[in-house]
Amino acid sequence: MKNFISRTLIGFLVASNCVAAGLDDFKELMFAPVPRAEAAKAGLTVMFVGVATLLFDDGETAIMTDGYFSRPTQSELRAVVPDREGISKALKRAGVTSLAAVIPVHSHFDHALDSPIVAMQTGALLVGSSSTANIGRGYGLAEERIRTVKFGDSLSFGRFKVHFLESAHLPIGYAPGPISAPLTVPAPASAFGQGDAYSLLIEHEGRRILVQGSAGFVPGALQGRSADVIYLGTGGLTVRDATYQAAYWQEIVRTVGARRVIPIHWDNFYRSLDDGLVPGADFPRMIESLRERGKPDGIDVRLSPQWVVTDPFVGMSN
């Protein structure tokens, strides 16, 4: 226990320093919080909780990508297990009372480890690939609460329409295969095979947001699609060469004609939610390179603070 406390304390101090070194330099890019009373006026609000977990809420319906909160440390990867209590605390902190759907962007543990538990705790449908469905089954989520989708499918939840578009993971070769049988936990993190990777196009009352969970792409896959705002997965992007980075920007951001890019998947996901979001060492470089790329087209880069209700369209003309 004593060890735990001192580890937590050290973690907190380190986190505070890292946050100061990484995020503070980009304060002007941060969205201001939407006060609760004004959330209805915004029509659609989004809360970022870390990695690719985003809560979309229009006051009537809420949907969530990933729902990843447990965030095991690297030394725990041999046997990962969702932290049910931590998940319920996080959902409470996010203000989630009911959820229509929880949608992992692919089935790696840093996206889908907690998704079935989120579904159980909120009444949400677990929506995703056959791999995601097998995580739900292994955890004992009822079959009628699991919805398996294929590339090109679209599903409506209240006024949200979600299109499941074919995408790819950043090519890292980690656990690439599907999960072909119900997966029980504890399990090695690598048992969470990637399965299908989506670009999620979320339509809401004529507005379009793209959620790109991983920094990969399938050439031409987003041809003919449009989105004003992109939550853009940036994990591992800066270690790719310039050609790859340019192609990613072209295939995702420019192809859909986005006017605003909000990076996600930039935090160290081995750090507990209690530490706040701790950016990787490459964070300033990543942000600057996105801003450079966006400049010629007037695409602005904004950042979403953690746990904050934001209006991703704020300041954008229609």
Residue of closest CB approach to Zn ion: 108
Nearer to Zn ion by Cβ, of 173 and 315: the residue is 173
Instruction: Check binding of 71 to Zn ion (CB under 5 A).
Output: no
d(CA 176, CA 230): 25
Rounded to a whole number of angstroms, the minimum distance from the CB of residue 92 to Zn ion is: 27
For 265, what's the count of Cα atoms within 13 Å in the CB-facing half-sphere? 24
Q: Is 187 helix (H, G, I), strand (E, B) or coil?
A: strand
Nearer to Zn ion, 69 or 313 (CB): 69
Least separation in angstroms between CB 275 and Zn ion: 21
How far apart are CB 41 and Zn ion at their closest, in Å?
36
Residue ranges in 181-314 assigned as alpha helix (H): 242-248, 283-294
As a whole number of angstroms, the distance between CA 299 and CA 169 comes to 24
The residue among 213 and 294 lying less far from Zn ion, judged by its C-beta, is 213
Structure tokens at 287: 């942000």
CB of 53 to Zn ion, least distance (A): 13
| Alpha helix positions (H), the chain | 2-22, 36-42, 84-93, 109-112, 115-122, 130-139, 242-248, 283-294
Contact string (CB under 5 A) for Zn ion, positions 93-112, x = contact: ---------------x----
In the complex with Zn ion, the residue whose CB is nearer, 96 or 183, is 183
3-state secondary structure of 194: coil
Give 72 or 294: the residue with its C-beta nearer to Zn ion. 72
For Zn ion, the binding residues in 252-311 under the rule CB under 5 A are none
Residue 61 CA to its chain's centroid (Å): 18
Q: How far is the CB of 216 from Zn ion (least distance, A)?
A: 9
Region 157-216 residues binding Zn ion, contact defined as CB under 5 A: none
Enclosing H/E stretch for 128 = strand 125-128
| Interacting residue ranges for Zn ion, rule: CB under 5 A | 108
